[in-house]
Amino acid sequence: MPQSKKPRLQATKAPRESVRILITGGRIQRRIQEIAKQIRKDFPDEPLHLVSVLKGGVFFLTDLARSISGEVSFDFIAVSSYGQNTHSSGQVRLTRDLDSSVEGKTVIVVEDILDTGMTLQYLLRLFEQRKPKHLRVAVLLDKPERRIADVRADYVGFSIPNEFVVGYGLDYAERYRNLRYVGILTLGSDTKKVVAEK
Ligand code: IMP
Ligand code: MG
């Protein structure tokens, strides 16, 4: 008796993810040039000390630092937050401190995205205690709808809708950071593929 060749359903666990471009790499670069000029205009004669938050702010910092004329130095800090549903500032934790003191310096905090604002609120409190000469904030992206903490950025690249975005430093489970553009991530539901038996 020949075996029947029935198709069978094979469940695959991997969700079908897709990224839709929201802001092209070109637009990001042009906006960074404008922000760099604005920062230098606001502080024409000051050495500027950029402090970026690892890891998401890294590309913004490197592009911004190279676009600001005059004296620029930079440093890195890292924080971890205990999930998205945080409602108190106690839930952000410092995991890597700066290498050098910010006392007396003109400090620009460089962040990838301002979402609830809890991270920035924590950082601003920390830096204010360390007596910088000036303290300013530059964020590439701002999601104003999600704000919980009463903080704002001095320099904003783009205001975006309440969507989960990846690219240009921003990740989903450590992936997509290396995209040159910013895109909206869509997670498909578990898919079932029909696989015909041979
Ligand atoms: P906040 O403390 O809620 O403002 O969150 C800031 C951090 O959450 C950012 O630095 C990102 O690491 C992360 N985050 C917030 N929104 C997004 C997003 O849409 N995509 C990727 N990461 C995000
Ligand atoms: Mg971040």
- Spacing, Cα 113 to ligand 2 middle (Å): 7
Q: Give yes or no for residue 142 CB within 6 A of ligand 1.
A: no
Asked if residue 196 has pLDDT above 80, the reply is: no
Which residues make Cβ contacts (< 8 Å) with residue 105, sequence separation at least 6?
47, 49, 132, 133
The residue whose two tokens read 């204010």 is: 128
Q: Give yes or no for residue 113 CB within 6 A of ligand 1.
A: yes
Q: Give the whole-number percent of the chain exceeding pLDDT 70.
A: 83
Catalytic (active site) residue 115: yes
Q: Give yes or no for residue 50 CB within 6 A of ligand 1.
A: no
Q: Render pLDDT for 78-98 as a digit per residue (tens, 0 to 9).
A: 998 765 543 444 489 999 999
The residue whose two tokens read 């700066």 is: 98
Query: Which atom of ligand 1 is least distant from the CA of 115?
Result: 4
Ligand nearest to the Cα of 151, by number: 1
Query: Which atom of ligand 1 is least distant from the CA of 119?
Result: 2
CA-angle at 62, arms to 121 and 119, nearest 5°: 15
Asked if residue 171 has pLDDT above 70, the reply is: yes
Query: Which atom of ligand 1 is least distant from the CA of 171?
Result: 21
Ligand nearest to the Cα of 76, by number: 2
- Spacing, Cα 123 to ligand 1 middle (Å): 14
Q: Render pLDDT for 25-79 as a digit per residue (tens, 0 to 9).
A: 999 999 999 999 999 999 999 999 999 999 999 999 999 999 999 999 999 999 9
Can you name the residues that pair with 166 across neighbouring β-strands? 183
Q: Give the whole-number percent of the chain exceeding pLDDT 90.
A: 79
